Structure 1
Amino acid sequence: MTTGTIALNNYLQAQGKLTLLSWVDTSSGPAHAPEWTSICKLDGQAVATGTGTHKNLARDAAATEALRILTATTA
């Protein structure tokens, strides 16, 4: 896990909503240089999308964006 993913997990755990988190990960491009796309979902609804050269980087980007969105709407 990277920083954004950990921060999102901690935030959701504090809210009692960690069990609502799910991911959809896909890759495209050649096997030796894939481009990963991760969709962060809460309760089945897409919240944010991230891309990266590795799955964990794509998830981290999506988690960072999701956390920004979640904290902006609850502030």
Structure 2
Amino acid sequence: MLINNAGNSFAGYFEEQHQRAAAGDPAKLAHALLTLAGRDQPPLRFVAGADAIEGVSAKARELLAQADASRELGGDLGHADA
């Protein structure tokens, strides 16, 4: 029973993601990808869509906050003789 519930939830998640992806303009995405492909040094990662950019930005802020919170205890763990 749990597997079916999890599967339905999982399917719902992918359906939601598909609906979001369908909202974008494929021609604009193609133009952006071709522009990136023509660059001498394209970015290592490309985030497509305003909602995706906001999600990545939120995750980056979360990770930076965690690094800052760890700095006091975790920043000086090297060997004393190093």
| Structure (1 or 2) with the greater helix fraction | 2
Taking structure 1 as the reference length, the TM-score comes to 0.30
- In terms of Rg, which structure is larger? 2
Taking structure 2 as the reference length, the TM-score comes to 0.28
